[in-house]
């Protein structure tokens, strides 16, 4: 089930502010940028960069994901492993708020999100 419209707007604003603060300077963005998307009840943060061999091809490397679990009123946190599957982020599997999720991603205690 997707998030309701009011929640979507609130989440969009919170994550957009975080991403804008995290993005590299404008002159670097064609080579490396950070973006996000909302899919149903999930927030996905990803890097955008050109493919190193295929000119004109853009790569989107997913960094972090939080999925809202309505029955528990929490966000479950995931990171993308080398097997290209989402895995629960063990130090902090859940967060109460989007702000807390973004703080966990920024702290990156185990270097799972930003390396």
| Residue 1: pLDDT band with limits 50, 70, 90 | low
Structural domain of residue 90, as residue ranges?
5-107
Tokens for 3, please give them. 């998030």
Question: What would the pLDDT profile of 8-58 be if each residue is shown by its tens digit?
Answer: 999 999 999 999 999 999 999 999 999 999 999 999 999 999 999 999 999
113 is a domain residue: no
Does 39 map to a domain? yes
Query: Domain for residue 30, yes or no?
Result: yes
Residue 93 lies in a domain: yes
The answer to whether the CB of 78 falls within 8 A of the CB of 88 is yes
What is the total count of domains within the chain? 1
Is 38 within the bounds of a domain? yes
Residues present in the chain in total: 115
pTM to 2 decimal places: 0.94
| 48 within domain boundaries | yes
What residues pair up with 75 in beta bridges, in sequence order?
A: 68, 95
Measuring CA to CA, which residue among 98, 46, 59, 55 is closest to residue 77?
A: 98
Residue 114 in any domain: the answer is: no
CA separation (Å) from 101 to 11, 51, 89? 11, 29, 11
């Amino acid at each position: 089930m997707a998030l309701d419209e009011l929640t979507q707007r609130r989440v969009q604003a919170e994550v957009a502010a975080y991403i804008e603060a995290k993005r590299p300077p404008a002159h670097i963005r064609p080579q490396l940028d950070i973006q996000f998307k909302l899919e149903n009840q999930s927030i996905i943060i990803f890097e955008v960069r050109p493919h190193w061999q295929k000119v004109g091809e853009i790569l989107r490397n997913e960094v972090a994901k939080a999925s809202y679990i309505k029955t528990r009123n929490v966000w479950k946190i995931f990171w993308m492993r080398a097997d290209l599957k989402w895995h629960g982020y063990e130090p902090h599997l859940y967060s109460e708020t989007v702000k807390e999720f973004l703080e966990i991603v920024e702290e990156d205690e185990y270097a799972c999100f930003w390396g």
